Amino acid sequence: MKNIESKLKEKRVFKPSEEFVHQANLNSRTLDKLIKKYKTDSSLFWKELAVNEITWIKKFTSVCTGRSPFFKWFEDGTLNISANCLDRHIETDKKDKIAIKHVSEDNQINSLSYNELFSKVNSFSSGLKNLGLKKQDRVIIYMPTIPESITAMLSCARLGLIHSVVFAGFSSESLKDRINDCSAKVVITVDSFKRGGKFIQAKETVDRALAMGCPSIQHCIVYKNSSEEINFDESRDIWWDKIIDTNDKIITPEEMMAEDLLFILYTSGSTGKPKGIIHSSAGYLLNCLLTNKWVFDLKDDDIFWCTADIGWITGHSYVVYGPLALGSTILIYDGAPTYPDGDRFWKIIDENQVTVFYTAPTAIRTLMKLGDELPKRHKLDSLRLLGTVGEPINPEAWIWYHKTIGKENCPIVDTWWQTETGANMIAPLPGIYPIIPGTCTKPLPGIEIGVVDSEGNEVKDTKQGGNLVIKKPWPSMLRGIWGDEERYIKTYWEKYDNRFYITGDTARKDKDGNVWIMGRSDDVVNVSGHRLGTMEIESALVSHKYVAESAVVSFPHDIKGEAIHSFVVLRDNFKSYAGKQFADELREWVKIKIGSIAKPDRISFSTNLPKTRSGKIMRRLLRNVARGEEISGDTSTLENENILNQLKDIH
C-alpha cells in the first residue's frame, strides 16, 4: 500500500449535497439515537433491529450467546432466508416489481418480477427436493451471475441446503478441492457462458474436476445457457429443464434455526489451502439488510447495480441477499466491463437508469485509463450514489469517479469489509459523513473496531498503524471455517487470547476517528480486489515438475492495486529452461492449478532464493527487488549474497 499512501495529496473534504442529506435513510438525528441505544443496551439495539428487519417464523428470545470465539445470534429463533427474499414481498404490491434485470454481454435484457423469481425458485426447489437432498447437505454452484444462479442460491436457502458458490473462473483443480472439502452432493453449472465475446466452457471444467475424483458428488445439474455442444454423462448429469416443476407448485420454505448455515464461501488465507468461511442464516441476513439501507441508502425506486460476481462475498451480500431481502431491483451483467467497448458500464447505467453503482477500484482505474471521452458519451444522470470495495482506492481514482462518473453529485461510499465479516463494517453513512478520499471513514453503528499493537493495546499515535481488530461480536460474523475449528481459532483469535477478531489488515485511525486501511499483515495479496494467498500460488508453482522452490510477493500496480512477482528456482536438470518461454508456460500452469486471477505478472529465475543462515527465505529482500527499491535493512544474515543480482532478471 506504500504507493497509495505516498500519493495521498488529496486533503479536500467532500460533503453530501443538501438534496442527498434530505432524503437519506439515516440522518444525524437517527444516527445519534442508534448510537445512544447501542451504548445503553447493545443487546436491545440488535434485538429491535432483528425484530423489525427480519420476518421470523418463530421469534427468538436470546440475542447474543456463547463464549468467545464461538458466538450465537438469535439462537432459538427460526426463519427462512428465501422467504425473506421472496415470499414476504409477493404478499405486497412488490409482487410485480422487477427483482432482477439481467443484461447479457450481447445486450439481451431479461427482467424478472418478484413473482416471476418466486415461481422460478419454487420450480427449481421442487427439482432439487426430488433429488432427495436433506437439510444442510452441501451444493456447489459453478455458474456466472445470471438469474438462474441466483435462483439456485435462493432454492438452496429455501430447502435449507448449504450452498457454496465457486467463482466460475476457478480451474478444475480448485473446484475439485472445494467440492471435496465440503463433501458436496450436487454441483450446478451451465454448459458455457460468454465473456469478452468468447465462450467459456464451464461444464468441461466441471467434468475435469469430477474426473479427478469427487466421490461425494451424486449429480451435476446443467442449465442450458448457450447452444454449445457438451459432453453429457447420463448416469450423473441432469438438465436443469428436466427437473424443474412447471406446475406452479409452491414449495414450503424449510423452517431453519437462526444459526443453521446458509453458505460456505472459500477464500484465500496465509496457507496453501483455501478456507471455507461459514455463515449463519439470521445474523448474516440482518447485517446485509442494515447495510443495504444505511450505506447504499436503498429506496423503493432504486436500481442497484453491484458489479461483483456471485462467486465473491460482495455478490452474496450486495447482489443477492441484502437487496432482495429489502425488495429492491438489482441489475446484473455477466459480460466483460470493456466489451464491446470501454464505455460498456456507462452505457448500461444510462440505458437502464441505474441509481446506485458499486464496483471495485481496479475496475475504476481500468476505465479511467481509457480516457474521459468514453464516459462523456453518456449522461450518467440517473446515478445518485457510488460505492467501492475490495481494496484501497487511491485519491486519483476517487476524484475521477467523483467527477467524471458521479458528476460531483453522488456521495462515494468506500466500504471496508471481508468474506469473514459478511457485510460492510467500516463505511461512510452517505447522508451524514463528510468524506476524505482514501478513507473508509468510521465503523457502522453496532460495530466496535480497534487499531492495536502486538500486545493488543490501542495505538494512540494517529500516524502510526496497527492491527485492525473487531472488538465485539456482530450478527453477520463468520461462524468458523468448514471442518477446521483449530484453524479458525489460530487465524482469527489466538494472538489476542480470543479477546478480538483479527482482520489480518493493518490500518491507522486519524484524529477524527477515520480509518485508513494500509494493507495486509499476513501472506495474503490483493490483486484487482481478489484475495490470493502467496502460499497458494507458491504451492501451485512447485507442483510443476521442473520447479524446486518458489516465493511469491506482491508489488504495487497502477491498475490492479497489487500484482504478483514469483521468484522461481528450477531443479538441477531443468535449469536451462529459465527464460521467457518457460515463464509463460508457468503462467499457464498456475492458470490450470488455480485460475487466471492468480497468474504471476512477473517471474524471475535464480539458482537459489535469498535465505538466512538458518534457511528462512528473506521475503523482505524479495519485496525490495519486486518493488524496484533499494535493498533495505541488514543483509549480513544473508547466506548467499550474490543471489540478489540474479533476481533482477524478470520475465
CB atoms within 10 A of CB 198: 12
Calculate ∠ Cα 314-315-316, nearest 5°.
Answer: 90
Q: How far apart are CA 5 and CA 561, in angstroms?
A: 12
Q: Is the CB of 167 or the CB of 240 nearer to ligand WTA?
A: 167
Q: How far apart are CA 458 and CA 453, in angstroms?
A: 6
Those residues whose C-beta lies under 8 Å from the C-beta of residue 142, and which sit 6 or more positions away, are: 165, 166, 168, 170, 175, 187, 188, 189, 202, 205, 206
Give residue for cell 455442444.
229
Give residue for cell 434530505.
22
Using the CB atoms, write b or e for 95-121: b if 16+ within 10 Å. Answer: eebbbbbbbbbeeeeeebbbbbbbbbb
Taking the complex as a whole, the smallest distance from the CB of residue 235 to ligand WTA amounts, in Å, to 37
Q: Is the CB of 335 or the CB of 504 nearer to ligand WTA?
A: 504
Q: Is the CB of 1 or the CB of 569 nearer to ligand WTA?
A: 1
Q: Is the CB of 296 or the CB of 416 nearer to ligand WTA?
A: 416
Taking the complex as a whole, the smallest distance from the CB of residue 419 to ligand WTA amounts, in Å, to 3
Q: Is the CB of 300 or the CB of 510 nearer to ligand WTA?
A: 510
Using alpha carbons, select from 70, 76, 40 the residue that is nearest to residue 56: 76
Using alpha carbons, select from 156, 215, 213, 218 the residue that is nearest to residue 187: 218
The amino acid at 464: Q
Taking the complex as a whole, the smallest distance from the CB of residue 430 to ligand WTA amounts, in Å, to 14
Q: How far apart are CA 224 and CA 393, in angstroms?
A: 38
Taking the complex as a whole, the smallest distance from the CB of residue 501 to ligand WTA amounts, in Å, to 12
Q: Give the residues across from 190 on adjacent strands.
A: 223
Taking the complex as a whole, the smallest distance from the CB of residue 469 to ligand WTA amounts, in Å, to 12
- Helix (H) or strand (E) holding 303, with range, is strand 303-306
Q: How far apart are CA 400 and CA 241, in angstroms?
A: 45
Q: How far apart are CA 617 and CA 611, in angstroms?
A: 4
Taking the complex as a whole, the smallest distance from the CB of residue 450 to ligand WTA amounts, in Å, to 15
Q: How far from 290 is each of 35, 83, 551, 620, CA to CA, in Å?
A: 14, 18, 42, 41
Burial class (CB in 10 A: 0-12, 13-18, 19+), 384: buried
Q: What is the DSSP letter of 84?
A: I
Q: Is the CB of 145 or the CB of 526 nearer to ligand WTA?
A: 526
Taking the complex as a whole, the smallest distance from the CB of residue 227 to ligand WTA amounts, in Å, to 34
- Helix (H) or strand (E) holding 70, with range, is strand 70-73
Q: Is the CB of 78 or the CB of 394 nearer to ligand WTA?
A: 394
DSSP characters for 229-243?
-----TTTEEEHHHH
Q: How far apart are CA 304 and CA 332, in angstroms?
A: 9
Taking the complex as a whole, the smallest distance from the CB of residue 512 to ligand WTA amounts, in Å, to 18
Taking the complex as a whole, the smallest distance from the CB of residue 496 to ligand WTA amounts, in Å, to 17
Contact 567, 632 (CB under 8 A): no
Residues in contact with ligand WTA by the rule CB under 6 A: 267, 312-314, 389-392, 414-419, 440, 503-505, 517, 520, 526, 531
Q: How far apart are CA 114 and CA 436, in angstroms?
A: 38
Calculate ∠ Cα 400-403-405, nearest 5°.
Answer: 80
Q: Is the CB of 226 or the CB of 270 nearer to ligand WTA?
A: 270
Taking the complex as a whole, the smallest distance from the CB of residue 631 to ligand WTA amounts, in Å, to 27
The amino acid at 323: P
Residue 108 backbone phi and psi in degrees, to 5: -80, 135
Taking the complex as a whole, the smallest distance from the CB of residue 312 to ligand WTA amounts, in Å, to 6
Using the CB atoms, write b or e for 540-552: b if 16+ within 10 Å. Answer: bbbebebbbbbbb
Taking the complex as a whole, the smallest distance from the CB of residue 292 to ligand WTA amounts, in Å, to 14
Task: Select the residue whose beta carbon is closest to ligand WTA and give its number.
Answer: 419
Q: What is the DSSP letter of 561?
A: E
Contact 418, 265 (CB under 8 A): no
Burial class (CB in 10 A: 0-12, 13-18, 19+), 195: middle
Taking the complex as a whole, the smallest distance from the CB of residue 429 to ligand WTA amounts, in Å, to 15
Taking the complex as a whole, the smallest distance from the CB of residue 395 to ligand WTA amounts, in Å, to 13
Taking the complex as a whole, the smallest distance from the CB of residue 396 to ligand WTA amounts, in Å, to 15
Q: Is the CB of 416 or the CB of 555 nearer to ligand WTA?
A: 416
Taking the complex as a whole, the smallest distance from the CB of residue 504 to ligand WTA amounts, in Å, to 6
